[in-house]
């Protein structure tokens, strides 16, 4: 049994438990993981982050809804995400996702 996470406090890493949210579009449950190196929760599915609107900070979209919006509802995507850096980052996420699903794309 290895349970060194609690004891190992020499690194100033904090580990917070993942939490569950519901996708704002399809209402599916999705898990938001804590990212220790960044010391914050993953923003990949956080709609407030992508859209840059604080009132959406507790709204989440699951991976498949993000992909769906990006591929089938481009207008909505362009309308919602105005920051070009974030557009690039989201494209990057979605592209990685596709690589995982379909390695022949490499």
Print the binding letters for residues 53-92 with Zn ion: x by CB under 5 A, - otherwise: ---------x--x---------------------------
Tokens of 74: 């481009």
Cβ atoms of 22 and 28 closer than 8 Å? yes
3-state secondary structure of 42: coil
Q: How many residues bind Zn ion (CB under 5 A)?
A: 5
Burial class (CB in 10 A: 0-12, 13-18, 19+), 42: middle
Print the binding letters for residues 10-29 with Zn ion: x by CB under 5 A, - otherwise: -------------x-xx---
**Rule CB under 5 A: which residues touch Zn ion?**
23, 25-26, 62, 65
């Amino acid at each position: 049994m290895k349970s060194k996470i609690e004891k190992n406090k020499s690194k100033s890493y904090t580990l917070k438990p993942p939490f569950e949210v519901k996708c704002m579009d399809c209402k599916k449950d999705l898990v938001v993981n804590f990212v220790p190196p960044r010391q914050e929760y993953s923003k990949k599915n956080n709609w407030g982050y992508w859209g840059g609107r604080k009132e959406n900070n507790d709204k989440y979209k699951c991976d498949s809804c993000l992909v769906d919006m990006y591929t089938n509802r481009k207008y909505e995507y362009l309308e919602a995400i105005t920051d070009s850096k974030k557009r690039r980052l989201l494209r990057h996420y979605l592209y990685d996702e596709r690589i995982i699903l379909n390695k022949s794309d490499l």
